[in-house]
Amino acid sequence: MGTLLERMQEMPTQGVALPFRGFVRYRELNGVKLNGVRSHLIPIVLLHGIGSGSGSWLHQLSQTSLGHVLAWDAPGYADSSPLKMAEPAAADYAHVLWAWLDALQIKEVHLAGHSLGCIMAASAARLQPQRVKALTLLSPAQGYGTAPLEVREKKRDERLQAMAQLGLQKMAEQRAPRLLSPQADTEQIQLATHMMSCLNEGGYTQATYMLSTADIRSDLQAFKSASNAPIRVACGDQDVITPPAACQDLAKFIQAAYTDLPTAGHLCALQAPQAVSEIFKSSR
């Protein structure tokens, strides 16, 4: 079978060119069930966090019972083209997301985000609510868009200074283990560290600017007013990046179901893969 990192590196990626929007790289589970019958379930589209990539969804991309699963490398990550603007907003990522899905001729989706990917997912759901049949938010980042200017700038600059001072490899060695709970094994830590060390500085910088101005609650309110699609929020009970209390508060604010993921840290899809997959299945 190989280690988690070896399995991720062996998992094939695909790419598609988008009109006027560059190129998006992604990984895909082809939707063939165990009995060989092609699934007609709505595709699950997975959006990774700020320090990660499509490989963070390794387990979900290996579970054939989920049907058709796609995980992108967001603009500026891996080989996906960066956005054209230096300081993008969440909606800029959302527009590329829908252009990517249009290129793949995918109409309706179950949209799922992790951390920063939740902000992208919420913005995309607001943009085209009729196409989102379920929305899952795993350890959601909420953005600093409603915070005072000095707070937004401080949060932004702290991230960018850490990258500049440490470099990506040392930043990954210091920060990646915090994305996991103390129960994490060596393979999980190795995979998380590798993914963070392989970030593109430009893409990470753009994502940091987006995080500093985003407001997930506004986007979720707009989506709820336009759609009856189910929304689920989940968080690892040992998440120190987006703590459970903050995720529970968001779920309460939008009147969404909340799921606690025992012994998992921030990278909950990696540490609690079966529980996350059950959330996806229950939303269908």
Q: Is the per-residue pLDDT at 32 higher than 70?
A: no
Please report the domains of the chain, with CATH numbers, ordered by start residue.
4-282 (3.40.50.1820)
Q: Is the per-residue pLDDT at 33 higher than 60?
A: no
Q: Is the per-residue pLDDT at 211 higher than 60?
A: yes
- Report pLDDT digits (tens) over 165-204: 999 999 999 999 999 999 999 999 999 999 999 999 999 9
Mean pLDDT of 266-277: 97
Q: How far is CA 64 from the centre of its chain?
A: 20
Residue 111: which H helix or E strand, with range? strand 109-114
Strand partners, 232: 136, 257
Q: Is the per-residue pLDDT at 284 higher than 80?
A: no
Identify the band that residue 39 occupies on the pLDDT scale cut at 50, 70 and 90.
Answer: low
**DSSP β-ladder status, 132-138 and 68-73:** unpaired
Percentage of the chain lying above the pLDDT 70 cut? 96
CA dist., res. 284 & res. 266, Å (int): 25
Residue 57 in 3-state DSSP? helix
**DSSP β-ladder status, 132-138 and 109-114:** parallel
8 Å CB contact between 173 and 46: no
Q: Is the per-residue pLDDT at 225 higher than 70?
A: yes
Q: What pLDDT score was predicted for residue 238?
A: 98
* Mean per-residue pLDDT over the chain, rounded: 95
pTM: 0.96
Q: What pLDDT score was predicted for residue 182?
A: 96
Residue 14, CA atoms < 13 Å, CB-side half-sphere: 10
Mean pLDDT of 84-108: 97
Phi, psi angle pair for 21, to nearest 5°: -125, 15
CA dist., res. 37 & res. 184, Å (int): 35
Q: Is the per-residue pLDDT at 216 higher than 70?
A: yes
- Report pLDDT digits (tens) over 120-146: 999 999 999 999 999 999 999 999 999
CA dist., res. 210 & res. 156, Å (int): 9
